[in-house]
Amino acid sequence: MNRLENLLEQSMARHSHLCPRQVLGVRMALAGAELLGFNLPRKDKSMIIITETDGCFLDGLEVATGLTPGHRTLRIVDYGKIAATFVDVKSGQAIRMTPRSDVRQQAYRFAPGETRHYFAQLQGYQVMPANILFSAAWVTLSPSADVIMSRPGVRTVCSACGEEIINEREVILDDKVFCQSCCGSGYYVRQTDLSAVPLREILITAD
């Protein structure tokens, strides 16, 4: 079993099946790391990946690189795109990769006799040359890698909701500290404060 097959087996084990986006994730991870000069898998924080979607594609990236959300080295900025930016934390160099716009059509060339589009992609993506499979461009991060990674132990408190903010994600308005939700850029709008609602105690017992 070659390296790609081994990584695809690991990714498939998470889903009980293998899909084209897992293949894209694994192959993009291998290509992106090679372009930056990194060996895989990584056990340090010298490289981070910012992915623009979640799901199967993310699992492919994680399996191939060893980077994880828990180590803050695999990050999601949900733009709804099969794309990822590979970052050399020390140098600040970053390269963004995405499948080429005609990749689904090109897949048929590399899956002879396969007429079903899903299986043509599943087979073709595994063997297509990287320059036919992906497009890549050097990019400048905004904010920088240092800001994205922040510093350990930095924390403050939102002046509106009183919740703690870590990793320097606070917003300063009129010299006051706010979390992103309280300043209007969060993903939720607060409705009911559950601290005023009596919650039934839930007991968990072993069988």
Instruction: Give residue 197's pLDDT band: very low, low, confident or very high (50, 70, 90).
Output: low
Shared-domain flag, residues 166 and 204? yes
Contacts of 164 (CB under 8 A, 6+ apart): 155, 156, 157, 158
Boundary (domain end) residue, out of 133, 148, 163: 148
Q: Which single residue is written with the structure tokens 């589009």? A: 117
Same domain, 192 and 142: no
Mean pLDDT score, 169-186: 90
Residues 140 and 167 in one domain: no
What's the total number of domains in the chain?
2
Q: Which of 148, 183, 199 is the last residue of a domain?
A: 148
Residues 113 and 172 in one domain: no
- Mean pLDDT computed over 25-29: 98
CATH number, position 111: 3.30.1330.130
What's the whole-number average pLDDT of the chain?
91
- The per-residue pLDDT for 207 is 46
Q: What is the pLDDT of residues 100-124, one digit of tens each?
A: 999 999 999 999 999 999 999 999 9
98 and 83 Cβ atoms separated by less than 8 Å: yes
Give yes or no: residues 34 and 93 share one domain.
yes
pLDDT at 4: 93
Do residues 85 and 176 both lie within one domain?
no
Q: Do residues 65 and 160 share a domain?
A: no
Residues 181 and 138 in one domain: no
Shared domain check, 107 and 40: yes
Whether a cis peptide bond, with omega within 30° of 0, leads into 99 is: no
Kindly state the percentage of the chain with pLDDT values over 90. Answer: 80
The last residue of one of the domains, among 104, 125, 148, is 148
For residue 190, give every residue at least 6 positions away whose Cβ sits within 8 Å of its Cβ, in sequence order, or none: 161, 181
Which domain covers residue 93, as residue numbers? 3-148
Q: What is the pLDDT of residue 195?
A: 61
Same domain for 201 and 180, yes or no, is yes
Looking at residue 183, which CATH number applies to its domain?
A: 2.10.110
8 Å CB contact between 66 and 41: yes
Closest to 57 in 3D by CA, of 135, 139, 123, 125: 125
Place of tokens 């803050």: 72
Identify whether residues 93 and 126 lie together within a single domain: yes
Q: Residue 166: beta bridge partners?
A: 155
pLDDT per position as a tens digit, 50-90: 999 999 999 999 999 999 999 999 999 999 999 999 999 99
Between these two residues, 149 and 68, which has the higher pLDDT value?
68
Q: Which of 26, 20, 15 is nearest to 49 (CA)?
A: 26
Per-residue confidence (pLDDT) for residue 186, from 0 to 100: 84
| pLDDT for the residue 194 | 58
Q: Tell me: do 159 and 117 sit in the same domain.
A: no
